[in-house]
């Protein structure tokens, strides 16, 4: 390998000018995205997985404002950003699971 050249074993494209390599890399990346969404769906298919997501949405402060002292706001917004990403993942993978989590949480709190 030449000095200054960086290529990992996992590089999906060795020659970006080769349309076949680019096509295969895109297919491989799409399958990673499918795997990611299927993993989320698998977790959300169980009540324990939905409770896990719901708990962390709450911990991350998705449902509250970040109003506080300046430095605490930065921390709260960082936590909230993670929660919003979790929520986006849920809505992308299985939007109906969010409504199910909401119903299950309401039932649990009304008992």
Residue 105 domain flag: yes
pTM: 0.68
Residue with tokens 């991350």: 60
Residue 84 domain flag: yes
Residue 11 domain flag: no
| Total structural domains within the chain | 1
Please say if the pLDDT value at position 3 is more than 50.
no
Output the six-digit token pair for 110.
């009304």
Residues 6+ apart with CB under 8 A from 86: 53, 56, 57, 60, 62
Q: For residue 91, which of 53, 55, 47 has the smallest C-alpha distance?
A: 53
Residue 104 domain flag: yes
Residue 88 domain flag: yes
6-57 residue pLDDT tens:
344 455 666 777 788 777 777 777 788 999 999 999 999 999 999 999 999 9
Output the six-digit token pair for 60.
């991350």
pLDDT category of residue 111 using cuts at 50, 70 and 90: low
Residue 100 domain flag: yes
Residue 62 domain flag: yes
Q: Count other C-beta atoms under 10 Å from residue 66's C-beta.
A: 14
What is the domain range of residue 36? 19-110
Give, to the nearest 10 degrees, the angle between helix 47-59 and helix 95-110: 80
Comparing 43 with 111, the larger pLDDT belongs to 43
Q: What local confidence, expressed as pLDDT, does residue 5 receive?
A: 41
68-102 residue pLDDT tens:
888 899 999 999 999 999 999 999 999 999 999 99
Q: What local confidence, expressed as pLDDT, does residue 24 receive?
A: 78
Q: How far apart are CA 65 and CA 60, in angstroms?
A: 11
Q: For residue 38, which of 83, 96, 99, 92 has the smallest C-alpha distance?
A: 92
Residue 1 domain flag: no
């Amino acid at each position: 390998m030449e000095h200054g050249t960086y290529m990992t074993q996992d590089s999906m494209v060795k020659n970006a000018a080769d349309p076949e390599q680019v096509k295969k890399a895109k297919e491989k990346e799409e399958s990673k995205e499918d795997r990611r969404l299927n993993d989320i769906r698998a977790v959300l298919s169980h009540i324990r997985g939905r409770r896990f997501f719901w708990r962390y949405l709450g911990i991350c402060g998705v449902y509250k404002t970040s109003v506080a002292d300046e430095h605490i706001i930065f921390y709260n917004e960082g936590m909230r950003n993670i929660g919003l990403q979790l929520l986006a993942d849920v809505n992308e993978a299985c939007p109906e699971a969010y409504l199910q989590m909401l119903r299950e949480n309401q039932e649990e709190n009304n008992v």
